[in-house]
């Protein structure tokens, strides 16, 4: 059992380290980063929608006794994150000038991503309880799944007003919730798996809300045809990256 614990926690630490992928931007000039942030936001839109509709919702449908429940939980996720963002906007208007430079979507993304990483941790932990080879395979799938999403998340945090170093560390701390997820899985086993099935569609609803309500309207501000075409291609690339993972898994 100790071996399973070691494998599970080492695996989830590796997954959490993927969130530091934005470190490569630290050496780049700020104007270069700003130039390409919009394209990476487009990638985030594709990755978030692809993750929700290709991974999370289908997995919830396969494991649920009622498709209607999955649908209701997904809608609940959208509404919950709508309310959370409303609260962040109200709080945002009451803050000082320095803090108001940070757009609420950045905080909303950190909350949602932390929730999603917690689920990833539970899935990894449950997989290792089945067997070590299945746990390793699941970890590889999660890492591949996280790379395009973490690139997009980092871009969204930059767009929200965080500087590169703060965005990097906040993204990393959000990823650490996966460690808590593994601990929950190892402690509660089957109960943790049942918990995951309920929260999957809620997390999917959160991703759909962020992509449709916050990020796509930002992309609509671009009027140039050439740049709009590049944004569309990056959205498709994000979706295809998530689709490719289905084939790998």
CA–CA gap between residue 218 and residue 221 (Å, rounded):
6
pLDDT in tens, 102-112: 777 788 878 87
| Domain boundaries of the chain, sorted by first residue | 2-10+42-248
So what's the pLDDT on residue 162? 84
So what's the pLDDT on residue 88? 64
The torsion angles phi and psi of 204, rounded to 5 degrees, stand at -60, -45
Tokens of 29: 């000039």
- Computed on alpha carbons and rounded to an integer, the radius of gyration of the chain in Å comes to 18
Place of tokens 């803090």: 99
Place of tokens 């757009």: 103
Give the global pTM. 0.68
Tokens of 56: 């999370």
CA–CA gap between residue 215 and residue 155 (Å, rounded):
11
Contact 89, 104 (CB under 8 A): yes
- Low-confidence residues of the chain: pLDDT under 70: 22-35, 88-101, 130, 134, 137, 141, 144-145, 148, 190, 192-193, 196, 248-249
pLDDT in tens, 166-219: 888 888 888 889 999 899 888 887 676 677 677 778 878 888 988 898 788 878
CA–CA gap between residue 113 and residue 156 (Å, rounded):
12
So what's the pLDDT on residue 170? 87
């Amino acid at each position: 059992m100790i071996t399973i614990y070691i494998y599970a926690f080492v695996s989830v630490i590796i997954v959490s380290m993927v969130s530091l992928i934005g470190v490569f931007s630290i050496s780049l000039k700020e104007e270069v980063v700003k130039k390409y942030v919009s394209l990476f936001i487009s990638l985030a839109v594709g990755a978030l929608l692809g993750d929700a509709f290709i991974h999370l919702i289908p997995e919830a449908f396969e494991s649920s006794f009622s498709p209607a429940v999955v649908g209701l939980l997904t809608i609940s996720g959208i509404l919950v994150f709508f309310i959370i963002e409303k609260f962040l906007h109200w709080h945002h208007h009451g803050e000082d000038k320095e803090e108001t430079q940070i757009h609420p979507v950045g905080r909303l993304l950190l909350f949602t991503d932390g929730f999603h990483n917690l689920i990833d941790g539970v899935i990894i932990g449950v997989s290792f309880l089945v067997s070590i080879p299945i746990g390793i395979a699941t970890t590889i799938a999660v890492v591949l799944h996280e790379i395009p999403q973490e690139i997009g998340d980092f871009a969204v945090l930059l767009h929200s007003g965080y500087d590169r170093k703060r965005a990097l560390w906040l993204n990393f701390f959000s990823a650490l919730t996966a460690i808590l997820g593994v601990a929950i899985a190892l402690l509660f086993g089957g109960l943790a798996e049942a918990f995951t099935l309920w929260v999957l569609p809620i997390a999917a609803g959160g991703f759909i809300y962020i992509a449709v309500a916050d990020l796509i309207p930002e992309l609509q501000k671009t009027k140039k045809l050439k740049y709009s075409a590049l944004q569309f291609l990056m959205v498709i690339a994000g979706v295809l990256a998530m689709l490719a993972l289905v084939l790998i898994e």
